[in-house]
Chain A
């Protein structure tokens, strides 16, 4: 089946630095990918929709300049957390629609970001 790979699975960085998280569709092309943030009390928040070859669509309240999304190819979307602060520490998960069943999302394994 469709597989989404996410890297790194965990990262620790100093406050003020930038961190890039990659999301790859391994055996299919994904024109659209989705970035979620999961808070400690487990709820999922859709941050943005990543569109191949065009600008990402951000959800209300998500800072575009803080969370830079690039979808330069049909198999890769990246999320860069710029000038990270401790409050950005979270679990970030990407997903993509399955090529055959478009109503189903396949998720990456997630990336745990800790900002010191």
Chain B
């Protein structure tokens, strides 16, 4: 069945770049998403990419999509303490945009 996988933790130093990786299995996905969840809060959409694109940039965020390898990444430049959160990768499949979620990557910022 469909599956989305991502590492559970990533630790980076403040000011460095963070790269959060995600792999998925369904090649028919239409969109791929990154959501951010701060402690005790709901999920906030960070960005999404259409499946026929390979890159999308939005200020400090860069999303790279490798369709051949079914690999999605989120790069956060100049990581700040406010970036501490859980980052969820998700793909949508089908005409009703059914979402398949990864388990979330907890980003830990070291001073």
Q: Which residues of A contact B44 (CB under 8 A)?
A: 107
> Measured between C-beta atoms, what is the minimum distance from A51 to chain B in Å?
12
Q: Indicate if A102 sits at the interface (CB-CB under 8 A).
A: yes
Given A42-B86, A43-B104: A102 touches B97 (CB 8 Å cut-off)? yes
Contact of A107 among B42, B86, B92, B106 (CB under 8 A): B42
Interface residues of A in 23-42 (CB under 8 A from B): 41-42
* Neighbouring B residues of A112 by C-beta, 8 Å: 40
On whether the beta carbons of A106 and B45 are closer than 8 Å, the reply is yes
User: Range of interface residues on chain A?
Assistant: 20 to 34
Whether A6 contacts B42 by the Cβ 8 Å rule is yes
* A107–B35 alpha-carbon span in the complex (Å): 10
Question: How many angstroms from the CA of A108 to the CA of B42 in the assembled complex?
Answer: 6
Question: Majority SS of interface residues in chain B?
Answer: strand
- Is there contact, CB below 8 Å, between B104 and A42? yes
| B contact residues around A106 at 8 Å (CB) | 45
Inter-chain CA distance A93–B43, complex, in Å, is 9
Interface residues of A in 1-52 (CB under 8 A from B): 4, 6, 41-44, 46
Separation of A34 and B43 alpha carbons in the complex (Å) = 13
Given contacts A42-B104, A43-B104, A93-B42, 13 further A-B contacts (CB under 8 A): A4-B42, A42-B103, A43-B103, A44-B43, A46-B101, A102-B97, A103-B48, A103-B92, A103-B97, A104-B33, A107-B35, A107-B42, A110-B40
21 contacts between A and B (CB under 8 A): A6-B42, A41-B8, A42-B86, A42-B104, A43-B103, A43-B104, A44-B43, A44-B101, A44-B104, A46-B101, A93-B42, A95-B42, A103-B48, A103-B92, A104-B48, A105-B45, A105-B99, A108-B42, A109-B42, A110-B40, A110-B41
> Nearest 8 pairs between A and B by C-beta?
A107-B42, A107-B43, A43-B103, A109-B42, A42-B104, A103-B97, A110-B42, A44-B101
Q: Using a CB–CB distance below 8 Å, which chain A residues touch chain B?
A: 4, 6, 41-44, 46, 93, 95, 97, 102-110, 112
